[in-house]
Amino acid sequence: MSYFRTALLLAAMTGLFLAVGFMLGGQTGMLIALAIAVAMNFYAYWNSDKVVLRMHKAREVDRQSAPQFYGIVEQLAERAELPMPKVYLIENAQPNAFATGRNPENAAVAATTGLLKRLSSQEVAGVMAHELAHVKSRDTLIMTLTATLAGAISMLANFALFFGGNRNNPLGLIGTILVMILAPLIAMMVQMAISRSREYEADRIGAEICGQPLWLASALDNIQAAASRIDNEAAERNPASAHMFIINPLHARQLDSLFSTHPSTEDRVARLREMAGQTAAAGKAPSPWG
């Protein structure tokens, strides 16, 4: 269902782009905006992993420098039938983690030192399984496509602001002004909805990878409690990277609003607990981690 919802939202974003493109830029303006957005996001798709890891001063670790953490990721990657990703640590007291990379063969996972300090090894396994779920689902590609369309819509609005838009549209000047204001907001809402949908799906797949939904549920509760009290200065300076983390690292204190990149933690935990109950009722074998 989550994949279907994501597909519908992407289709809605595409339809919005086509409609806004005609209203504000005409065919020529629409193609120019799309070409610029594609070029920008193509570069980001190939280089964002290096940029974000450098942004958060992540250092790569291996079996010798972080044996327990590296071993957890290694076992989870094997269970998920994924290539072993690069593993990074971030010196930050706020417990959090993210995954990046354009595909499973070029993936990286990163966790803060606060995560390893505050969470049990089982909870860490739940968190890293969630991050590997993003890798397995190629969510970087999905979010790049979304960002491309949202960026193109914003560019069309800017074109209309400076050049007057498509004067031949059926709604006239007032319609152009309304579309110019509302289209970027609607695009942002759809983009955030896709981001929240991918988080729910990563929770589900991550719980399947580690075999213990309650480990991830417990981790989310603990991360949320700590993240609301502990600053992540690198994320605050670079809020565009906030959607990558398992829990919003910013102190916006918004949960399931239209413009939130993350679902509410309470909703995510409730779904995982329901999933654990269904697993137990079905009599499935416990995870070998347990």
Q: Give dist(CA 255, CA 173) in Å, integer.
A: 37
Contact residues for 50 (Cβ-Cβ < 8 A; gap 6+): none
Q: Give dist(CA 20, CA 155) in Å, integer.
A: 11
CA 41, 137, 66, 90 dihedral sign is positive
Task: Write down the catalytic residue from 123, 131, 199, 201.
Answer: 131
Evaluate whether 16 touches 189 at the Cβ level (below 8 Å).
no
CA distances, 140 to each of 127, 148, 151, 230, 275 (Å)? 18, 12, 16, 27, 25
Q: How far is CA 77 from the centre of its chain?
A: 19
Task: Give the Cβ contact number of residue 44 at 10 Å.
Answer: 19
Tokens found for residue 35: 């070409």
Whether 91 sits among the annotated catalytic residues: the reply is: no
Task: Give the Cβ contact number of residue 258 at 10 Å.
Answer: 13
Place of tokens 């193509």: 42
Q: Give dist(CA 20, CA 179) in Å, integer.
A: 7
Total length of the chain:
290
Catalytic residues: 131
